[in-house]
Chains A and B, each alone.
Chain A
């Protein structure tokens, strides 16, 4: 019994934790808490501005306001709850909910430890420790159980552990453990504390099923279940009041709906793609597909792979289905870190990486071209929006979309899936760090508008320091991890002669550095000596009393910052080369993952440095470029276009209102007037006829008999006469 044989425990442990919390600690928690009165009294939730269901009752809500269907009818609610700002300094968590979180964290720690053991076993190439030789090349298939077999078609629940899966297992369990831990602080005192841990565990289970799946069936199950947990967690604070009009902060109830339905739209294409592949090959299994697709019609296969990529476009929030991800920030910030930055949204990248042998080797070049151009375009597109947003989580959301675009571009330009996957790997850590850091800020001041921040570094040195590390990493500055993963994408595009993707990604690198340092300075610094980071005047523009978050929250930040630094430093020792070797099943690949110290690399890093310098000039030294651009008559429309996110939300809403609901109304009206009109009309005609021919009173039952048999006989006679069947 080696660790890899126990891989089913990796998802089973969080599943067990979920069930224990759901049926155990949470039930006890509900049983021991005092029964709420029919009308909830306004209670103090330890400073949680607007988190309790009770708060709805304290606001001057009117019953008339609910007659309108539109959410804007609710805007009269008190502003205290608006925006999902997470009160100051948290509250106290009672015993039973606390037990829930301890169960959750323990299960995840065990899963992570097991994943590490599996990694060790894979690295144990000669079988010295585990007596499993060369697992790195072969991987391991684990058959769990059969759904059913129909003829030669197998619907079975199989796991497969190979190097790609091991990488994902580590990323998912690692980041998830830290987020579980962090949430003890962030969610402290929340009335839905246990529910939060149930849903977080559900997500982890689903994501692990997704990466462990050996076939499309299992992968799709995980794929949809992460969608469910995303839906639940985005809507975690479903009882919040809507934010005031004009706020950039998303509102949970519509956001969760949008997230699920938009990704489902991508899944529609994904499912059709699966159907094409399944019909042609008769299998869902990835290994079998690698060989069996070779006999397929090239054009059909290419189409199928593009359709499969549609699923990735939805899940990984690529243009044009990216609109759900910024809204998904309505969920608690730990959720944004885990699901909407580090892991789930990377599932699309994982999907393409998983099917890379087919994309790269079997399907036509158009398939990867679609992946690459979608990714590169999205990278730039999202970065331009990020330039103008004021919501700290909004900027990070667009930055996530942009970085996911990089990953797709990396998958498309290189000969292996290593380049894209390596960016997924490093990005998971520094983006989780950015989100958890922003959560620390939001937790401290109860606001997420950067215009109400500034100078926070002096209050929150740990948060500021760790975020700086992540900001440098995402800007592609050596020696941080982002440099080693992002630069290869840009330089490979150049080497392969793909100048469009090269230009897009290079320019995006400049924008990325700019908007990330804009975020950093607006939040933690300001104008003044040392960018207002320390010394000098207080730069804080808000009215809360910021202080550093508790250690249970800063500890994960430090761990993630260390990971970002160490992975970066290990790059000098060839860590990324080792990653490529590992991901390619223990074979060294030709492709040089390590950026060479040549002119191309300097151009990439130079773009990042330029962006940083510009951000410092504008936001640290008062170069009023931003104000000029936003107010000049020429550039103001462009600024507005970016600030309003290219008006895509409005366009989609219009399409739904006019096209979808329009057609739906047509269906309903057709039923009500045309079909029912005919039905009711003929009923009236029959009744009229009945009045003429009525001879005597009859009961219901006799009418039945007459109708049933009389009708049948008439029809039968008509048929017989018409066909002449009787005469034969």
Chain B
């Protein structure tokens, strides 16, 4: 079954290039068919792995159905530059792979009505899918950063060409922010490669030496801990992507200008690349570095939650509001990771660490599904009304019963209502991190009040009250438009009511990571 993962990673890009050769209508069908097929394959992979040998599957040291071939190997004296073509999937990346496949398929369906250069647009979406898949599936740090940079190009073009009025500013802002951040990450990758022997850049290698990675570097006469330097360098790129306060300001602009489907992918999976990097690379390979800064990271996480929520409260544009809501909700991921890495309590709080980290990973998935759904909801409205200004509507719920039902589900999922997915993840993060970083958690929990405030206030202003006669001609979402919404609603409900299958998959990977973290604590 080793062919499955490479197919999932590369098939979208191949299909994306191929569809350019066809006329418009078959091209659209090819895009939809390819993304659907990739989604089904990812489900196959998911359930195949889930039903596989439960004892060994799921962590970075024991990836199943993985590929590892030497690719580049240059020797410069004693220095070897070696890159492996290594792909694998474990409990951390698998939910992201499924989510990426699902959201890309829904994004293609949701872009059906686009007229302008649709083929080029779809090709870029498919290449984007390959880039993101590669980030999640790569099991070699150099391969990882390669995919990381590859994903930038289609995203830059998608925002810059199909975006709104200020698309060029937004696209450049996105690009420069990310490039500056990822330069640090690349530097960090070189540094960790050198510091761990310079023989291999595979994840297995780093994971097995992670707890021994200690020591300090002299810095202008003083000295600084090596793991901390590595963490800060590696994390810089991830922090931009997550996005972490205060390097988050590219996100509202990018979201506001991006077309609907691109916003969905941006919020749904691209932000998760940052969180994934934080957990996989920072926490997994330089745990001491995260530990040294964990309380501070927790504070920044709380700021993320409250700052994002506050900024959401005063937005006038629905998309910008949801973009800031993403900033707020990604704070919970940061909080979970900070909690898992915090040095208080040592191994005695292992269960709470695991709850926090599992919660953070689950939040990556649930936030992707929920925010994707929110952006689709706004997209449906925008396609009909050509505006997203919250206050310009009024009472349109009577005109759009289907839309308001699904929009409400998305909003309530986002504000953490039980029986919907967001609650599971947030509850796990809170119950886990409170034992480790209580003060930071208390502040972050207050986010749930603010979230309810801005989302329901938005619904109240746009959808409830007497109908604003300007919108009396507004029609409800069509079945084609409602399909992505309904599909995500099903996912959100399922995870909210029965999260066990997802958690079972995530748990082994987190156990391995935490094993490293606790080992590192002991070394410390």
Q: Which residues does A use to contact B, with CB under 8 Å?
A: 38-40, 53, 56-57, 59, 61-63, 66-67, 69, 71, 74, 77, 145-148, 150-153, 155, 217, 220-221, 224-225, 228, 231, 235, 238-242, 252-254, 256-257, 260-261, 264-265, 267-268, 271-272, 274-276, 278-279, 282, 660-661, 663-668, 671, 675-676, 679, 683, 701, 704, 707-709, 711-716, 719, 722-725
Q: How far is the CB of A713 from chain B (nearest CB, A)?
A: 8
Chain B residues near A265 (CB, 8 Å)?
449
Within the complex, which residue of A145, A272, A665, A709 is in contact with B186, where a contact is CB–CB below 8 Å?
A709
| Sample (14) of A-B pairs whose CB atoms are under 8 Å apart | A57-B469, A69-B461, A145-B498, A150-B351, A151-B354, A151-B355, A225-B419, A235-B464, A660-B310, A664-B313, A671-B248, A708-B149, A711-B183, A725-B191
Chain A residues near B229 (CB, 8 Å)?
719, 723
Mark out the residues of chain B between 437 and 469 whose CB falls within 8 Å of any chain A CB in the assembled complex.
438, 441-442, 445-446, 448-450, 452-453, 456-457, 460-461, 463-469
Q: How far is the CB of B281 from chain A (nearest CB, A)?
A: 15
Do B465 and A723 touch (CB < 8 A)? no
Q: How far is the CB of A71 from chain B (nearest CB, A)?
A: 7
Given A150-B507, A261-B453, A708-B149, A74:B448 Cβ within 8 A: no
Nearest 4 CB-CB pairings of A with B: A151-B351, A711-B183, A712-B186, A53-B398
Chain B residues near A664 (CB, 8 Å)?
310-314
Mark out the residues of chain B between 227 and 282 whose CB falls within 8 Å of any chain A CB in the assembled complex.
229, 233, 246, 248-250, 252
Given A151-B351, A704-B153, A723:B419 Cβ within 8 A: no
Closest B residue to A254 using CB positions: B460
Chain A residues near B394 (CB, 8 Å)?
66
Do B391 and A268 touch (CB < 8 A)? no
Q: How far is the CB of B465 from chain A (nearest CB, A)?
A: 5
Q: How far is the CB of B366 from chain A (nearest CB, A)?
A: 14
Q: Which residues does B use to contact A, with CB under 8 Å?
A: 149, 152-153, 172-173, 176-177, 179-180, 182-184, 186-187, 190-191, 194-195, 217-220, 224, 229, 233, 246, 248-250, 252, 307, 310-315, 350-352, 354-355, 358, 391-392, 394-395, 397-398, 412, 417-419, 423-424, 427-428, 430-431, 434-435, 438, 441-442, 445-446, 448-450, 452-453, 456-457, 460-461, 463-470, 472-473, 475, 498-500, 503-504, 507
Q: How far is the CA of A305 from the CA of B313 in the complex (A)?
A: 31
Given A147-B500, A261-B449, A239:B435 Cβ within 8 A: no
Within the complex, which residue of A69, A153, A260, A272 is in contact with B351, where a contact is CB–CB below 8 Å?
A153
Chain B residues near A708 (CB, 8 Å)?
149, 179, 182-183, 186
Chain A residues near B391 (CB, 8 Å)?
66-67, 69
Chain A residues near B350 (CB, 8 Å)?
151
Chain A residues near B184 (CB, 8 Å)?
712, 715
Given A63-B469, A261-B456, A668-B311, A239:B398 Cβ within 8 A: yes
- Which of B172, B449, B466 is packed against the most chain A CB atoms within 10 Å? B466
Do B418 and A56 touch (CB < 8 A)? no
Apart from A69-B461, A71-B465, what 14 extra A-B contacts exist at CB < 8 Å?
Answer: A59-B466, A61-B466, A150-B354, A151-B350, A228-B417, A242-B466, A256-B456, A257-B460, A268-B445, A279-B434, A664-B313, A668-B314, A675-B249, A719-B191
Closest A residue to B306 using CB positions: A667
Q: Could you tell me the dominant secondary structure of chain B's interface residues?
A: helix
Do B424 and A147 touch (CB < 8 A)? yes
Chain B residues near A256 (CB, 8 Å)?
456, 460, 464
Closest A residue to B362 using CB positions: A148
Do A716 and B187 touch (CB < 8 A)? yes
Chain B residues near A238 (CB, 8 Å)?
395, 397, 463-465
Chain A residues near B194 (CB, 8 Å)?
725
Chain A residues near B475 (CB, 8 Å)?
38
- Which of B184, B418, B498 is packed against the most chain A CB atoms within 10 Å? B418
Given A224-B418, A723-B219, A241:B466 Cβ within 8 A: yes
Q: How far is the CA of A69 from the CA of B457 in the complex (A)?
A: 11
Q: Could you tell me the dominant secondary structure of chain A's interface residues?
A: helix
Q: How far is the CA of A254 from the CA of B456 in the complex (A)?
A: 10
Within the complex, which residue of A74, A150, A663 is in contact with B358, where a contact is CB–CB below 8 Å?
A150
Within the complex, which residue of A66, A239, A254, A723 is in contact with B397, where a contact is CB–CB below 8 Å?
A239
Within the complex, which residue of B173, B190, B224, B499 is in contact with A723, where a contact is CB–CB below 8 Å?
B224
Do B434 and A278 touch (CB < 8 A)? yes
Closest B residue to A660 using CB positions: B313
Q: How far is the CA of A723 from the CA of B448 in the complex (A)?
A: 43
Given A148-B503, A239-B395, A225:B417 Cβ within 8 A: yes
- Which of A39, A148, A257 is packed against the most chain B CB atoms within 10 Å? A148
Q: How far is the CB of A76 from chain B (nearest CB, A)?
A: 11
Do B355 and A264 touch (CB < 8 A)? no
Q: How far is the CB of B463 from chain A (nearest CB, A)?
A: 8
Do B468 and A66 touch (CB < 8 A)? yes
Do B186 and A253 touch (CB < 8 A)? no
Q: How far is the CA of A523 from the CA of B170 in the complex (A)?
A: 63
Closest B residue to A280 using CB positions: B435
Closest A residue to B474 using CB positions: A38
Do A268 and B452 touch (CB < 8 A)? no
Q: How far is the CB of B76 from chain A (nearest CB, A)?
A: 14
- Which of B149, B463, B468 is packed against the most chain A CB atoms within 10 Å? B468
Chain B residues near A152 (CB, 8 Å)?
351
Chain A residues near B252 (CB, 8 Å)?
671
Given A153-B352, A271-B445, A282-B351, A719:B233 Cβ within 8 A: yes
Q: How far is the CA of A711 from the CA of B236 in the complex (A)?
A: 13
Given A268-B445, A668-B310, A722-B220, A148:B249 Cβ within 8 A: no
Chain A residues near B461 (CB, 8 Å)?
69
Do A239 and B465 touch (CB < 8 A)? yes
Within the complex, which residue of B418, B449, B500 is in contact with A268, where a contact is CB–CB below 8 Å?
B449
Q: How far is the CA of A704 from the CA of B195 in the complex (A)?
A: 27
Do B464 and A148 touch (CB < 8 A)? no
Do B217 and A725 touch (CB < 8 A)? yes
Q: How far is the CA of A275 from the CA of B174 in the complex (A)?
A: 38
Closest B residue to A55 using CB positions: B466
Q: How far is the CA of A77 from the CA of B469 in the complex (A)?
A: 12
Q: How far is the CA of A267 from the CA of B152 in the complex (A)?
A: 41
Chain A residues near B503 (CB, 8 Å)?
147-148, 150
Q: How far is the CB of A98 from chain B (nearest CB, A)?
A: 20
Chain A residues near B351 (CB, 8 Å)?
150-153, 282
Closest A residue to B180 using CB positions: A711
Q: How far is the CB of A196 from chain B (nearest CB, A)?
A: 14
Do A38 and B472 touch (CB < 8 A)? yes
Chain A residues near B445 (CB, 8 Å)?
268, 271-272, 275
